[in-house]
Chain A
Amino acid sequence: MEKPTYNVKSSDDGLKYFFDSISEDKVVKKVIAYLPSQDSPELYQLIFGDLLPNGEIDVFSTSNNQDMKLVITTVVGTLSKFFEKYPRKMVAFTGSTSSRTRLYRATIAKFIETTELYYQVSGILDDDSIELFNPHHKYYAYIIEQTHEKDR
């Protein structure tokens, strides 16, 4: 079974994605950007938030639009598109707040359990070490790489 996403518009370089989070009450414009990291040529940083009318991204926003599952599936779908363009790169991200980083841990755990992702997810621990994602451990950032399974 395939999980649906929102309609997404992306840039040709696969680094920017836009979609509308839609409920009966409101429409919230969302943006995901993959920014090259200054720290490693192999690394991109994932930025996700609400697109404001002035073009800025609000990474702290909580839309409460009752569509978190669909929003998160859409964000994960952008990873798939990103890795189509940049299969050897890595993506790092952290929550804009500690509670959001915890939410990402729960979300990653759920996705790994239920979805064929073709990614290796690593978590960065408080002692600045990295390990393969363990749903029972507390992380403050994550790094995702594409595995080669998709090539089969």
Chain B
Amino acid sequence: MKKTDKKHTIDTSKFVVSNDLPYVNLESPQIKEQIEKLSAIIKNLKHPLPISN
């Protein structure tokens, strides 16, 4: 896409808030591992968060 072209936007009209949601287990070993992996990265950062301030 050329820089002069108009950029796309994302149509979120198909998003609905619902009380009828599937059960999701956010404490499974895979999720814990993923959280710990990212947490270790954040802890090791040379710069404190937030970045933009």
Contacts and interface: CB of A to CB of B under 8 A. Distances in A.
B17 A11 contact: yes
B14 to A, nearest CB: 5
A80 B10 CA distance: 9
Given A59-B34, A145-B50, A47 B26 contact: yes
Contact of A43 (B14, B19, B49): B49
Interface residues of B, number: 40
Interface string B9-53: 111101111111111111010110011011101111111011110
Contact size range, A: 35 or more
A116 B7 contact: yes
Q: Is the interface of B mostly helix, strand, loop or mixed?
A: loop
A8 B11 CA distance: 12
Contacts, number: 158
B25 to A, nearest CB: 4
B44 A128 contact: yes
A51 B21 CA distance: 12
Nearest to A140: B41
Given A59-B34, A145-B50, 18 more contacts: A1-B6, A5-B10, A5-B15, A11-B18, A35-B35, A37-B42, A39-B39, A39-B43, A45-B35, A47-B34, A55-B25, A56-B28, A77-B12, A81-B12, A90-B51, A129-B45, A129-B46, A141-B41
Interface of A: 1-12, 16-18, 29, 31, 33, 35, 37-40, 42-43, 45, 47, 49, 51, 54-60, 73, 76-78, 80-81, 90, 92-94, 96, 113-116, 120, 122, 124, 127-130, 140-141, 143, 145
Interface of B: 1, 6-12, 14-26, 28, 30-31, 34-35, 37-39, 41-47, 49-52
